[in-house]
Structures are given as structure tokens and as C-alpha cells.
Structure 1
Amino acid sequence: MSLPWTILVTGGAGFIGSHTCVELLDYGYEVVVVDNHANSSPEALARVQKVAGRPLAAVYTIDVRDRAALTEVFERHPVDAVIHFAAHKAVGESVELPIDYYDNNVGGTTALLAVMNAHGVHRLVFSSSCSLYGNAERIPITEQSPAAPTNPYASTKWMCEQVLTDVCRHRPDLQAFSLRYFNPVGAHPSALLGEDPLGIPSNVMPYLAQVAIGRREKISVFGDDWPTHDGTGVRDYIHVMDVAEGHRIALEHLDEVRGVRALNLATGVGTSVLELVAAFRRASGRPIPYEITARRPGDVARLIADPGEIERAWGWRATRTLDQMCGDVWRFQLDNPVGYQA
């Protein structure tokens, strides 16, 4: 099928969702967004349209678990494919609220699949996570590494992938990619879009930015006794615009896949928490006070990907550097000192 496809983006006002909406609009897609704004701002979608210079086809404030409301969306729009971001995503919170995480993440996915099936929509890009690999025995992590989730959030992502696998056995027309992200960070280079979580940030990069701008006193480093080169956790950070680009390219390759295929979305470069703090200090020119605290339940020492499979499959790789990631976040924070609330 030739462009323009109509793409339904669930969670489209969120961090990754909003940047992906810009990418899709830039490439001529028609974009319909559903989001319940549990951890996002409607302002993000206004900015998406400003950055892209094009309107979204429609925006609906609904929860994807609401099958009746979701059905109305599919009946109003000829959806060609779905990108499914909508989910709770905080590791620590998932340990405290496991029922909420299973209900929202798994329940939202099954509801979406049911409505897609009822309307003959069989193309899906699913937002998964590197956290499902857990304490991987071998680094870098390939797509063949076994799943070993260590917290409820990771378990919900793994369970959703299992649901997709089972559905594909019974629906041979379903074509799906499950993109396993390795720590998306950064912001749109326009400084109009970035990560603006409601309440206290659960991810390290927006917390760093809020410390640098003076909204928070210091950052907590969860453990300095991990088996890594400096004792702090090591992660594979990837720029959100590379993530957005990856989703757009996944859409272009959906008709080549049968069933569901999991792919790592990452750079293959590991950065420790202390190295990230130093990089953000360079980008901002501000002091970044931090304190070492106890390990966070459900965390692991290292998560670094082997991104080779996606490059072999699509001829594509992430290209933006850690300095670009930090610089773009800092520009967004400077221009939006209290986020989208201003």
C-alpha cells in the first residue's frame, strides 16, 4: 500500500509517542492519536503540530482499555496500522503497583488487539523494552537472549510479546514488530518537544535536567556497588529521534514480516550513571549534585544491546551521540523550565 497510510498512535502525547508523531507527519502519514494523559500533557500534541507544520488527523482522550471508545475511533478512521505506546513505564512504581501495571499494560494491549481484529487491521508496531532481558548473562544482548524480567514492568512487556506471539498463531494475517528499546533520552532539536513527566521523574535524564535547572536539589544514584567499571548501573542510551525514526522505518517494513518479530532499538554503547551525570554537566555547564543511595528493587547492573540485527534487516542504525542527547535535553529544559505547564 502506498502513502499516505493512516496510523493510529496510542499514547501519542507521551515522550516517545509525541516525537514519533512528528516523524510520521514529516513523512506524509495521517496520524490519529489516542491518549488518556495519565502521564502526558495535551500541550505536547499542540507542539507536535507546530513542529511538523501539519495537523494531526484527530486526537481522542480515551483509555485504550475502553473498547467501546476505541471502537468508535476505528469506525471513524480508516486505520492502516497501529503504533502502540500506551503503557505505564516506571520500574520502581511497578514493584509497588503490580496489579495496576498488569491491568494497564497487558489489558490495554489485549483490548487494542481485539478492536484491531474486529476492524480488519493487521499491522502493528509494539513498544517493548530491554528490561525484559533482566540480568542478561551475556553482554551485548541480542534478540535471541532469553527473557528474564526482574520487575512487574518488564514482565508486562514480556507478557505482551507472548500475547502477540499467540495471537499471530491464530491470526496469520497479523504483521507485527516488537521494538525493544534501550533507554530513550534526548529531545526534539527544536526544543519544543521533550520529556516532561507528571510529578517526580522516574527516568534519570529528565531528573538530571530538573536538577540542573534548579527544580530539584540533587539526583539519587541507585547503588555504587554494581559489578560495573565505576559501580553504577550501565545503560545503552538512544536518542528519542532515533527511536522515532526506527518506528517510521518499521512501518515501511511491516508488509515483509509474517507474525511478530522482535528487534533491539539501541546504539550498542554503554554509559554508566556517573558518566551520564558528567556528560550532562558538560552540556549544561551547571553543577549536578548527586548522592549514592540503595539499589532500586528490580534494577540490573548492565543493559547494553547488540543492534546488529536491525541494521542487517533494514540497513538502518541509530546515529545520534550521547552529547547530542544531553544537549537537546538541556535546550528543551532551558526553553521550558517548568515543562509544558508554562
Structure 2
Amino acid sequence: MKPNHNENDTMTSAILVTGGAGYAGSHTVAALLERPDTDVDIVVVDNLSNAYRPEGQKKPEPLRIIEEMTEKTIHFYDIDIRDAAGLCRIFENHNIDCVIHFAALKAVAESVEKPLEYYQANITGTCTLFEVMRKYGVHKLVYSSSCTVYGEPERLPLDEGHPTGAGLTSPYGRSKYFCEEIMKDLCRSDPKWMVISLRYFNPVGAHPSGKIGEDPNGIPNNLMPYISQVAVGRLKELVVFGADYPTVDGTGVRDYIHVVDLAEGHVKAVKLFKQKGFSGFHAVNLGTGTGYSVLQLLSAFEKASGRKIPHRVAGRRAGDIAANVADPALAQRLLGWRAARGLADMCADTWRWQRTHPNGYRGE
């Protein structure tokens, strides 16, 4: 039960965003604060494992920029979600109404090399968060899941009725699947839990202002930031992993979704909690329903940037599959959401961010 705190009775309700200084998290924070009807505090927790904070600055750079853009305040805490005592302090200080849970390690190939790190961060961290939520009587959760829970597709496009958990190709995918199973058990054990697990396909792009975007630490594990860093001269060439898949040109096919569309999906999910009678576990795909190969994405980015992207082909990468494409129909029915931005927008917005931030948030 939520501890008795008289001061909480009059405190503004808050949304806790874990991993909110990262790529998807920061764009979702921006989407929440850009809405004129947002009347809640935004509280962000991030351990900065994949986010940048300049020395001497209190908040990570993307959050500082979002505050500047929206003229609104973000409450930030530099803690790891495995720190139960640290999370408890946040729940004591803020009237948390619901949680959007992004915080996780997220690279498929890296998870094959570092399975323990992925299980620790993604499963242990998530369980710790849930324990603290339960302690403080907070049962509303939007979870950052992944299409990797479907494993090797039995059919395309992938709908939410497709089996999960079988044929998973990476510890990353298994960690997301295990967390979904934990959430299902929570919802079965207590009807107060309301969980929306958003199964992302492949988020790309950047805020149309060009002020915030994807800035991974080290060499990017994902395709779009790798392409954009080659285009801006930060990396020498793109390595295409695998050109012998049974696809249109032999390279892997993915359903790419603009990160702003993805962020708006989270805003829609939070609104669903206000619907009378809503409860239990709900898995929802966030994708466009259209797949593009690596070479097709490369060609579209060359067109958007006006630059030739040098590339070479290497062998397949561990944990990758040939193709995955979403059936996004449930998102439209349940959330009233559909992707509004196409591949050209994704590439143009990525390039706007990268060419104005060749070294990401670190400047020169």
C-alpha cells in the first residue's frame, strides 16, 4: 500500500519515465510535454549508460534541451532501476500515478556477447521497479517491449496473436519475453495492475526540430545511426551484415517506425488508463506495416542527405533474422494510433539531427 504522506494528497500527479534520457525515452518525454493538455509532472530516472550529461550539468543534455523547447521542468534522478532504495525516495518525493518503463539494454548482437549484463539490467531491474511500484500502490505501466519476443516469424506481418517465446534468437529478445510473462503473472495475481506492453519494431528518425535525436555511446549497434554517422564522416563505412537472406535483395528487412510516431504511441497508451473498466495485460505492436531492406534504407538515406554512403557486405550477425514486419491494426483499434510518418521523413529528420550535431550531444 502507498505510505501515508499528507503532503502527497495535494501534490501534482506525476509520470515516472525510466530511461527517459535515452533515445525513445527522451522523445516520449518531449511528446508528453509538448501537449497542451499535459497537467502532470514528468519525473525521469536514468543511469546515463546510454545518455550524455556534460560535466558540471545537473541534467542530461536531451532533457535540458527539451526543457528549453517546452519551457517546462523535468525532474531528473541519476540512479539505476536496480537501486530499490533510490526508487523509493523518488516515490516518496513525487505523487507517481503511472510509469513508462524504457530503462534497459537494447542491442541484439551485444546481448549475445553479454547475456548476464542483459538479464541483470532488463529482468532484475524490471522486477525491482515492479516491487517498488507495488509497495507504493502504483499499478499503471507502459512497458517498452520489442518485436524480438516473436522470435523467428512463422508468418508475416506479425500480429499480437503470433506465438511469443519460441525460437528467440538473442538474450535481449528473451529478456523482453520474460518481462512480459512476469507482467502477465502480476496482472493475474492482482486486478489492480494495468499494463500496456508496446512491442516496438525499429525506431529511427529524430525530432523534426533537429534538436534531439539518437546519440548512442560508442559504435552504433543499430542501422540508422550507423548510416548517418558514415554520412557525416564520423565513421568510415557501413558494414552490411548478411546479403544472403531470402529477401528482395538478400539483406535483412525491417519495419522502421519514426521515433516521434513511437513517442505518440506512448502518449496514447497513458490516456488509455483513464478508460473505465480498463485493466490487465495488453500487448500492442508499434510499427508501420511496411518493411524495407538494409539497401533500400541506405538508398533512401542517400537521397535525403545528398551523399553517397560507402558500404561493404560482411557475414550475418548473431541473433539477426531475415525479416519482420508489423501488423499495426490493434494499435489503431485499442489506442487510436497509427504511424503518420514515412521513410522519407525518417531519413530527412535523422539527417537534420546528424548534420547539425555531427558529434551528437557532445558538440565539437
| TM-score when normalising by structure 2 | 0.92
Q: Is the 8 A contact 2:331 2:338 kept in 1?
A: yes
Structure 2: 5+ residue stretches without partners: 1-11, 53-59
Please state how far the C-alpha of 1:54 moved relative to its aligned partner.
1.2
The letter for the 1-side match of 2:15 is I
Please report how far the alpha carbon of residue 50 of structure 1 lies from its aligned counterpart in structure 2 after TM superposition. 1.6
Within 5 Å, give how 1:287-302 maps onto structure 2.
287-302=308-323
Structure 1 residue 67: Cα displacement: 0.2
* Other-structure match for 2:280: 259
Q: Are 2:245 and 1:245 aligned? A: no
In the other structure, the counterpart of 1:281 is: 302
How far did residue 53 of structure 1 move?
A: 2.2
Question: Which of 15, 40, 43 is the equivalent residue of 2:61?
Answer: 43
1:31-110 map, 5 Å:
31-41=42-52, 42-56=60-74, 58-110=75-127
Q: Is the 8 A contact 1:34 1:61 kept in 2?
A: yes
Question: Partner letter of residue 28 of structure 2?
Answer: T
Give the 3-state SS of the residue equivalent to 2:320 in structure 1.
coil
Please tell me whether the aligned partners of residues 182 and 266 of structure 1 are also in contact (alpha carbons under 8 angstroms). yes
Query: For residues 162-205 of structure 1, what are the alpha-carbon distances to aligned partners after superposition, in whole Å with 9 as ceiling and x for unaligned?
Result: 00011111121000100000000000011110000011100000
The correspondence of residues 154-173 of structure 1 with structure 2, limited to 5 A, is 154-173=173-192
Counterpart position of 2:339: 318
AA matched with 1:9: V
* 1:223 paired to 2:242: yes
Corresponding residue number in structure 2 for 1:234 = 253
Report the 3-state secondary structure (helix = DSSP H, G, I; strand = E; otherwise coil) of the residue aligned with 2:120.
helix
Residue-by-residue CA offset, 1:9-43 (whole Å, 9 max, x unaligned): 00000000000001111222320000000011111
Distance 2:203 2:210 in 1: 16
Contact in 2 for aligned 1:10/1:64 (Cα 8 Å): yes
The 1-side partners of 2:13 and 2:344 are apart by: 35
Preserved CA contact (<8 Å) 2:13 2:94:
no
Which letter maps to 1:73?
I
2 CA distance for matches of 1:62 and 1:315? 34
* 2:151 paired with 1:134: yes
Partner of 2:130: 113
Gap runs ≥5 in structure 1: none
Contact 1:177-1:254 within 8 A present in 2 as well: no
C-alpha distance in 1 between matches for 2:69 and 2:354:
17
Distance 1:52 1:176 in 2: 28
The residue identity in structure 1 corresponding to 2:63 is: L
Structure 1 CA distance, aligned partners of 2:100 and 2:247? 35
Alpha-carbon displacement from aligned partner over 1:262-309 (angstroms, at most 9, x marks no partner): 000010000000000000000000110111101001100001010001
Q: Contact 1:132–1:150 at 8 Å: present in 2 too?
A: no
Cα distance in 1 between the residues matched to 2:239 and 2:13: 44
How far 1:254 sits from its partner (Å)?
2.0
Q: Does 1:205 align with 2:224?
A: yes
> C-alpha separation between the residues in 2 aligned to 1:184 and 1:171?
32
Q: 1:11·1:17 contact (CA, 8 Å) conserved in 2?
A: yes
Cα offset, 1:315, TM superposition: 2.6
Match in the other structure for 1:13 = 21
Runs of 4+ in 1 over 6 A off after TM superposition: none
| Distance in 2 of aligned mates of 1:31 and 1:194 | 19
Q: Which amino acid aligns with 1:36?
A: N
SS state of the match for residue 292, structure 1? strand
In the alignment, the residues of structure 2 paired with residue 313 and residue 249 of structure 1 have an alpha-carbon distance, to the nearest angstrom, of 9
**Offset at 1:314?**
2.7
Query: Is the alpha carbon distance of 1:134 and 1:233 closer, same or farther for their aligned partners in structure 2, counting shifts above 3 Å?
Result: same
What CA distance in whole angstroms lies between the structure 1 residues aligned with 2:336 and 2:62?
31
- Alignment coverage as a number of residue pairs: 338
Matched position secondary structure for 1:158: helix
Task: Give the structure 1 partner of residue 356 of structure 2.
Answer: 335
Query: What is the alpha-carbon distance in structure 1 between the residues aligned to residue 238 and residue 171 of structure 2?
Result: 24
Letter in 2 for 1:304: V
**Distance in 2 between residues matched to 1:311 and 1:204, nearest whole Å:** 27
Give me the whole-angstrom Cα distance separating, in 1, the residues matched to 2:71 and 2:247: 45
For 1:318 and 1:5, locate their aligned partners in 2 and report how far apart those are by CA, in whole Å. Answer: 29
Deviation of 1:137 (Å): 1.1
How far apart, in 2, do the equivalents of 1:48 and 1:271 lie? 31
State the Cα RMSD in Å.
0.9
2-structure distance, mates of 1:113, 1:315: 27
Contact 2:187 2:280 (C-alpha < 8 Å) held by counterparts = yes
Alpha-carbon distance in structure 2 between the residues aligned to 1:328 and 1:21: 18
Distance in 1 between the 2:242 and 2:220 partners? Answer: 18
The one of 269, 274, 290 equivalent to 1:269 is 290
